[in-house]
Amino acid sequence: MAEVRVQNLNKSFGELKAVNNVSFHAKSGEFLFLLGPSGCGKTTSLRTIAGLEEQDSGKVLVGGKDVSDTPVHKRNLGFVFQNYALFPHMTVRQNIEFGLRMKKINKRYYREKVSEILSLVGLEGYEDRKPDQLSGGEKQRIALCRTLVLDPQVLLLDEPLSNLDAKLRKRMRVELENIQNKLGLTTIHVTHDQEEALAMADRIILMNNGSIVQEGTPPEIYEKPLNGFVADFMGQVNCYRGKVVKVTDNKVALESEKLPRINVLQSDGKKLKEGKDVFFMVKKEGIKINSSLNSSKEINSVEGEVLVASYYGSHIEFICGFPGKSGQIILKAPVDISPVPTRGEKVNLQWDYDNAFIIECFA
């Protein structure tokens, strides 16, 4: 399986710099994710690898070879589009055979290859259907078949699961992972869904505004975000900017515009100096909520007032505000919490020390 390397890629659309000096590589057999909000440059980067966009500068190497001068149809990279792009005037069989025809593979192999690839995705017998007779999930799998039947060295996926409903998406995630695993394909998957990336990726490249913000394995990115954007995007934390007021052993006192003064116990809290600008992050799932009547602790705790309580089926989400401060904190509580705090109630919020952390701001 081939390795894909992107070096110093730059691409602008008119005034907009979509991809800004981006470099990364996907190791052979790796399941790499390009993750980020809309407009961050992930899709443009992917399309540039496929040749569907032309970079202003920079190189794309596949298996060590510079492919910039290779036309799209000769790059031999698998590509699945967000809207699947099945040929509406052809049957499933003809769609799958298309690539084989282009490669001028002998026709007598077609039948076998088509049925083989269809069984791989569990759609045996679908050969003679037309795309408008297929459901979303089926179309997606046929789009995959079309590409996999050609034994590509690399698989490029442009938000392939985004157009599916939530349940189908989870199922397809598993299927996709299985296929990738089984075939050992070097895969680059573009998505804006951080849950998807965390669940499936070997490595994640997080992008924003055309640049790479952080690179790493899912645990690395989730637990050690380099800055507030990363932490916020990964979605699981509340993030606040603040200043270190006082450090006593591992206890750090923080002042912040958005939060009342808090004391945070951190394992390497000693390292922080007074006066430093920091980010304080606490996981939404790691906060416990109690009525203020219980004793409030001095450390890893803050008092607030319930603004909103929303029932989400699997959990209850509370948004609390702080009198005199502009910030809010979001937390996820289990459904069986009792008594359930109500709007306007004064509450005490506590967290375990490994559910929160402070990192320095990089100016």
Q: How far is CA 293 from CA 104, 301, 334, in A?
A: 77, 14, 20
Choice from 14, 71, 219, 323 touching other proteins (CB under 8 A): 71
List 139, 146, 169, 283, residue binding other proteins (CB under 8 A): 146
> Which residue's entry shows tokens 């799209």?
72
Cα 244 to Cα 221: distance, rounded to the nearest angstrom: 24
Nearer to other proteins, 13 or 311 (CB): 13
Residue from 25, 52, 226, 345 binding other proteins (CB under 8 A): 52
Rounded to the nearest whole angstrom, what is the least distance from the CB of residue 48 to other proteins in the complex?
Answer: 12
Least gap, CB of 71 to other proteins (angstroms) = 4
Residue type present at position 277: D
Sign of CA dihedral 236, 241, 244, 245: negative
Which residue number, 89 or 167, has a Cβ lying nearer to other proteins? 89
Q: How far is the CB of 17 from other proteins (least distance, A)?
A: 20
Cβ burial of 342 (10 Å; 0-12, 13-18, 19+) is: exposed
Binding mask 251-270 for other proteins (x = CB under 8 A): --------------------
Contacts of 121 (CB under 8 A, 6+ apart): 141, 142, 144, 145, 175, 179
Q: Give the binding-site size for other proteins (rule: CB under 8 A).
A: 31
Choices 6-14, 16-24, 71-79, 229-237; region in contact with other proteins by CB under 8 A: 71-79
Nearest residue (CB) to other proteins, 158 versus 254: 158
Stretch that binds other proteins, among 143-151, 234-242, 254-262, 325-333 (CB under 8 A): 143-151
Distance CA 102, CA 87 (A): 15
Of 50 and 264, which CB lies nearer to other proteins in the complex structure? Answer: 50
DSSP E strands, the chain: 4-13, 16-26, 31-35, 57-62, 65-66, 78-80, 154-158, 186-191, 203-208, 211-216, 237-248, 251-256, 262-265, 277-283, 287-291, 301-311, 316-321, 328-333, 346-351, 356-360
Q: Is the dihedral of CA 144, 148, 150, 154 positive or negative?
A: positive
User: By CB under 8 A, is residue 13 in contact with other proteins?
Assistant: no
Residues 148-187 that bind other proteins (CB under 8 A): 150
User: Interface with other proteins by CB under 8 A: which range of 24-32, 63-71, 119-127, 315-323?
Assistant: 63-71
Q: Does 308 bind other proteins (CB under 8 A)?
A: no
Q: Are 220 and 195 in contact (CB under 8 A)?
A: no
Name the residue nearer to other proteins (CB basis): 147 or 238.
Answer: 147
Question: Between residue 89 and residue 118, which ones bind other proteins under the rule CB under 8 A?
Answer: 89, 98-99, 102-103
Q: Rule CB under 8 A: is residue 72 a binding residue for other proteins?
A: yes
List of residues contacting other proteins (CB under 8 A): 50, 52, 54, 69-79, 81-83, 85-89, 98-99, 102-103, 132, 143, 146-147, 150
